[in-house]
């Protein structure tokens, strides 16, 4: 299968350009989608059938979605498998966006924060 020239790694942005160009996108994802993913993961682990939370000061609810919960685990596993240089690059790229909450392994056995889905339109990071 032929890949277009733009999809080849030599045409990817250098790491040094990524924060400038991608930070607003990651901030939007961190403000709106990451909180739902974390709340869903917590609900899934608790055996709950529904996720209810607040995103952008508005109620959000959905059926607990196993795939979304597994995605949180996969993201964390891939991040943990990176070498320290790659993790540092990712840490810098995601710092302050809210997406970094996906990378935090909970060690207290409680799953995700039950308030992880509370965000407002003015926030740029998650409330915990």
The domain segmentation of the chain, as residue ranges, is 21-103
The confidence score (pLDDT) of residue 24 equals 92
Cα–Cα distance for residue pair 79/122, rounded to 1 Å: 28
Tens-level pLDDT at each residue, the chain (128 residues): 344 555 556 667 777 777 678 889 999 999 999 999 999 999 999 999 999 988 988 999 999 999 999 999 999 999 999 999 999 999 999 999 999 999 987 654 444 544 455 544 444 333 32
Whole-model pTM above 0.85? no
Cα–Cα distance for residue pair 114/35, rounded to 1 Å: 10
Residues in the chain: 128
């Amino acid at each position: 299968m032929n890949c277009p020239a733009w999809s080849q790694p030599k045409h990817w942005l250098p790491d040094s350009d990524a924060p400038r160009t991608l930070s607003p996108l990651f901030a939007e994802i961190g403000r709106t989608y990451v909180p739902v993913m974390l709340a869903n993961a917590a609900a899934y682990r608790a055996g709950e059938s529904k996720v209810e939370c607040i995103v952008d000061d508005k109620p959000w609810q959905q059926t607990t979605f196993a795939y979304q919960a597994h995605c949180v685990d996969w993201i964390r596993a891939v991040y943990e498998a990176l070498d320290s240089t790659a993790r540092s690059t990712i840490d810098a790229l995601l710092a302050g966006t809210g997406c970094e909450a996906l990378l935090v392994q909970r060690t207290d056995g409680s799953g995700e924060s039950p308030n992880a889905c509370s965000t407002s339109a003015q926030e740029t990071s998650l409330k915990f």
